[in-house]
Amino acid sequence: MSKQFSRRDFLKLTGVGAATTAILTGCGPASRYVKREPYMQMPEYTYNGLSTYYATTCRECAAGCGLIIRTSQGRAIKTEGNANNPLNLGKTCARGQATLQGLYNPDRVTDPIKRKRGSANGSAIKWEEAAQVVANALKKNKPKEIAFLMGTAPDHLFDFASDLATAAGINAPVRFSALSMFESRATLIKAAENLFGKTGLPFFDVGGAQVVLSFGANFLETWLSPVAYTRGFAGLREAQTKQRGKFVQFEAALSSTAAKADEWIPLKPGTEAMVALAIGKLAYEIKGGPMPRAFSDVDPREAASTSGIKLETLEHIAEIFAQSTRALAIPGGAALGQSNGLAVAEAVLALNAIANNFGKPGGVYFSALAPNQTKYQGPASTQEMEEFIKKMKGGKFKVLFVHGVNPVFELPAAFGFKDALKGVKQVISFATFPDETALESDYVFPDHHGLESWGYQRVVTGSAQPVLSGAQPVVSPFHNTRATIDLLLAAGQLAGRKFASSFKDEVEFLQSKIAPLMSESDGFFSAPDINTFMAYFQQHGGWWKTADGRTAPETADVLSHNLSAAEAEFAGEGEFFFVPFVLPTLGEAGANKPWLQELPDPTTTVMWNTWVAMNPKTAEEMGIEDDDVVRIASEFGKLEASVYKYPAIRPDTVAMPFGQGHTAYGRYAENRGINPADLLGQNFNEAGDLAFAGVKVKIEKTGRKKPLSRLESIMGVYGVGLGGEE
């Protein structure tokens, strides 16, 4: 500071200046800047100034958690879990919390539009014309040329489409989602079928267990039913009434789930089956008795050296597993997404036979079937989607209806879904948001947002009781959208004959599906007539039974199966194992919700972008720094992403989150990050699931840098900013 004008003088002047500015500007009652907008039509039961709460169901994934939405003056303002819904007991995950933000997304499809495929512009048409388009599509094509492709939610639309298909001879609707692809559902179900002789989705009672060994199942992130499993985890760790449980996670890269484990075992990808059987053998040796066929072929020493885990570690884990009264082993995630995924699932399920936990607290069950469900119906496996795409390419479908799924983005590019659309004469999308598939459609007849919709969702796993979670609109629809069932009913009337249905609207259809529950016993409420029953159904957010509906698997001969300990085979010549994982903040469809984009990834704190997690030693050897852009190439594709030096990953492995890389889907999602699914291709395991972790990649430097936005500071990490950079 100069001699003439000291720091003290500067501060004095600033102070006076600031005070003057504050007084002369912006003085007025706060009311001038606030406006109150009353209801247009206030519902009778609403009190001014008090919020109205509605029970509904989340549609962000297939789990079907019950929600209570707080609304004020006709606007939804907060999501909370429904405390009475047995699946989530009042809790929600981040994706459920952010479903509210999707309602207000500025890029929502606001009217039915007709477009030229691939062009962002379309012209709005009237709903009457839209209904006629659908009616023509139904009656002018042969029934077997009509196809429905749907997401894993909502169930009531799937039921409607199934009934329409049965009545009119149309192809039964096919369901798919990226989450089901990365969860390897088909593998889990097939393994359970092979070992237990029954088709159903297994449920792992983490809450009642004392020792949990998870082989790749990231149940604290997005796996199967994250809220229920997270609650189970809380039960495992609870130490007031019992001993705190132990959790060991086996996977090549430390996920957010592994970060909560007592021990993370970074085994070599492909050796999970071998390691599981080795632990089984060692545990059986501790328990004593004749070695069963399942574990007789594996050599623990060989398993240790092949997988890179010390034999002592395997012995120690086998010991805690064998000596616990409530031990549980869970197969899932990337472990099943390999060529030998089915064998891995069987090997890990067999471990539970040592723990003798089938059908017992802390053990393996078959999930309770939802009310009105006679057998479990899962989504299509990726191999079944490949068949579907073949049919599309071959011109077998003249019209394709798409709802609740975005296959152009969710399926790997190598599957050629976008290209196969050329073989379909007419593509009609019911998308609420302008996603990639809607962009490639001839028409978009937008469905309401999940929070503006009626419906129900069957809870297929996570709850002991059978639950049918109900949905109702919490706000009047904001835009000129229409419930897809209402559109299909209108179109059915126009098309006539076997397409016409007797229901006047969606609610009448819902009532017809819910009415049979009135005669079911053991429900937590009942009513003599449908109107009263529906009122309770809406008020409580669904209907569920009071008794445990889970069943115990038949396990007489589980250990007499000949289980394979063979290593997985990997596609491609690269030197790195590639592990794509669903980003726990975004899930499969969260990229258009800025709340989720702003949520830092729990392990790396990166936001708004995709990264490649690489071991720092490997990076150092290759001369790669943080934020360097590298080219990752697999047999099926090439991508570029910034590097995040992540110590908690094997030096021979790289990991990439799935969720970004949209080329449409609105301003918050577009042109942000890359889609690791585009490095995958037609590479399946024995159950037909995609071997998404069965690919090896090459990494090349590009010489460019693109900084990742991290919540943690990069300063001080590996000497950055401390003058010690290399």
Partner 1 sequence: MIKSLFDWLKQPLGLIAVGIAALAFFSLASYGIHITQQTPEQPVQFPHRTHIAFGVQCLYCHPGGTRGPASGLPSQAKCWGCHQQIAKTNTSPLLAPLKQAVESGTPIQWVPVAQVPDFVQFNHRAHIAAGQNCENCHGDMTNLTIAQNPQVFNMGWCLDCHAKTAGEDHTKRVKLTDCGTCHY
Choice between 19 and 291, CB closer to partner 1: 19
Is residue 597 within 8 A of residue 272, CB to CB? The reply is: no
Q: How far is the CB of 634 from partner 1 (least distance, A)?
A: 53
- By C-beta, is 70 or 287 nearer to partner 1? 70
How near is the Cβ of 72 to partner 1 at its closest, in Å?
10
Residues 379-406 as b/e (b if ≥16 CB within 10 A, e otherwise) read bbbbbebbebbebbbeeebbbbbbbbbb
The residue (of 12 and 705) whose beta carbon lies closer to partner 1 is 12
Shortest gap between Cβ of 74 and partner 1 (angstroms)? 9
Tell how far CA 103 is from the center of its chain: 19
By beta-carbon proximity to partner 1, the closer residue of 23 and 556 is: 23
Q: What is the closest distance, in whole angstroms, from the C-beta atom of residue 103 to partner 1 in the complex? A: 18
**From the list 1, 4, 288, 723, which residue makes contact with partner 1 (rule: CB under 8 A)?**
4
Cβ proximity to partner 1, 41 vs 241, nearer residue: 41
3-state secondary structure of 574: coil
The nearest distance, CB 8 to partner 1, in angstroms, is 8
Token reading at 145: 């040329």
Q: Which is nearer to partner 1, 108 or 550 (CB)?
A: 108
Nearest residue (CB) to partner 1, 7 versus 375: 7
Would you tell me the crossing angle of helices 300-307 and 311-323 to the nearest 10 degrees? 120
Rounded Cα–Cα distance for residues 499 and 138 (Å):
8
Question: Is the C-alpha dihedral spanning 686, 688, 693, 698 positive or negative?
Answer: positive
- Least distance between partner 1 and beta carbon 130 (Å): 21
Residue numbers 83-142 binding partner 1 by CB under 8 A = none
Residues 364-423 touching partner 1, rule: CB under 8 A, are: none
Report in angstroms how near the CB of residue 83 gets to partner 1 at its nearest: 22
Comparing CA positions, the residue from 77, 85, 89, 92 lying closest to residue 537 is 85
Distance in Å, CB of 42 to partner 1, minimum: 4
Point out which span in 4-12, 132-140, 392-400, 552-560 binds partner 1 (CB under 8 A).
4-12
**37 vs 312, beta carbon nearer partner 1:** 37
Which of 2-10, 120-128, 339-347, 525-533 is the region at the interface with partner 1 (rule: CB under 8 A)?
2-10
In angstroms, give the least distance from the CB of 149 to partner 1: 35
Residue selected from 5, 53, 104, 525 as contacting partner 1 according to rule CB under 8 A: 5
Phi, psi at 515, each rounded to 5°: -50, -40
Q: Would you give the binding string for partner 1 spanning residues 24-53, x where CB under 8 A is met?
A: x--xxxxxx-xxxxxxxxx----xxxx---
Cα–chain-centroid distance for residue 539? 27
Q: Which residues from 271-330 bind partner 1, rule CB under 8 A?
A: none
Instruction: Provide the minimum distance between the beta carbon of 477 and partner 1 in the complex, in angstroms, as a whole number.
Output: 13
d(CA 571, CA 638): 14
**Which x/- pattern, by CB under 8 A, does the window 623-642 give for partner 1?**
--------------------
| Alpha-carbon separation of residue 458 from 80, 158, 284, 373 (angstroms) | 20, 11, 39, 8
Least distance from partner 1 to the Cβ atom of residue 534, Å: 25
Instruction: State the Cα–Cα distance between residues 317 and 103, nearest whole angstrom.
Output: 47
Sheet hosting strand 246-250, strand order edge to edge? 263-265, 246-250, 211-215, 327-331
38 vs 724 by CB, closer to partner 1: 38
Q: Which stretch binds partner 1 (CB under 8 A): 18-26, 90-98, 336-344, 653-661?
A: 18-26
Tell me the closest approach of the beta carbon of residue 104 to partner 1, in angstroms: 16
Q: Which listed residue (23, 239, 556, 715) binds partner 1 by CB under 8 A?
A: 23
DSSP string, 506-537: HHHHHHHHHGGGGG-SSBS---SSHHHHHHHH
194 to 233, contacts with partner 1 by CB under 8 A?
Answer: none
Minimum Å gap between C-beta 110 and partner 1 is: 14
Which C-beta is closer to partner 1: that of 33 or that of 312?
33
Nearer residue to partner 1 within complex by CB, 29 or 703: 29
Q: Which is nearer to partner 1, 4 or 240 (CB)?
A: 4
User: Using CB under 8 A, which of the segments 17-25, 255-263, 325-333, 534-542 binds partner 1?
Assistant: 17-25
Cα dihedral 704→706→707→708 (10° resolution): -130
Question: How near is the Cβ of 90 to partner 1 at its closest, in Å?
Answer: 24
What residues does 214 pair with on adjacent strands? Answer: 249, 330
Site for partner 1 contains 9 (CB under 8 A): yes
Q: Which of residues 50-79 bind partner 1 (CB under 8 A)?
A: 50
Answer whether the bond into residue 600 is a cis peptide, omega within 30°: no
How many residues make contact with partner 1 (CB under 8 A)?
27
Q: Which residues are within 8 A (CB) of 490 and not within 5 positions of it... i.e. 6 or more apart?
A: 127, 131, 134, 135
Cα 423 from chain centre: 29
CB count in 10 Å sphere of residue 700: 13
Closer CB to partner 1, 9 or 193, in the complex:
9
Residues 320-359 that bind partner 1 (CB under 8 A): none
Q: Where are the beta strands (DSSP E) in 238-348?
A: 246-250, 263-265, 327-331
Cα angle value 457/107/596 (rounded, 5°): 60
Identify the residue among 14, 17, 18, 20 touching partner 1 (CB under 8 A): 20
How large is the C-alpha radius of gyration of the chain? 27
Give me the phi and psi of 249, to 5 degrees please: -115, 130
For partner 1, which is the closer residue by CB, 12 or 390? 12
* Cβ-contact 714, 705 below 8 angstroms: no
- Minimum CB separation of residue 478 from partner 1 in Å reads 12
SS3 (DSSP) at 482 = coil
Residue closer to partner 1, measured from CB, 4 or 531: 4
> In the complex with partner 1, which residue's Cβ is closer, 3 or 142?
3
The least distance separating partner 1 from the CB of residue 344, rounded to whole angstroms, comes to 56
Which H/E stretch holds residue 314? Answer: helix 311-323
Token pair of 190 as six digits: 């097939």
3-state secondary structure 638-667: EEEEEEEECCCECCCEEEEEECCCECCCCC
Q: Which residues are at the interface with partner 1 (CB under 8 A)?
A: 4-6, 9, 12, 20, 23-24, 27-32, 34-42, 47-50
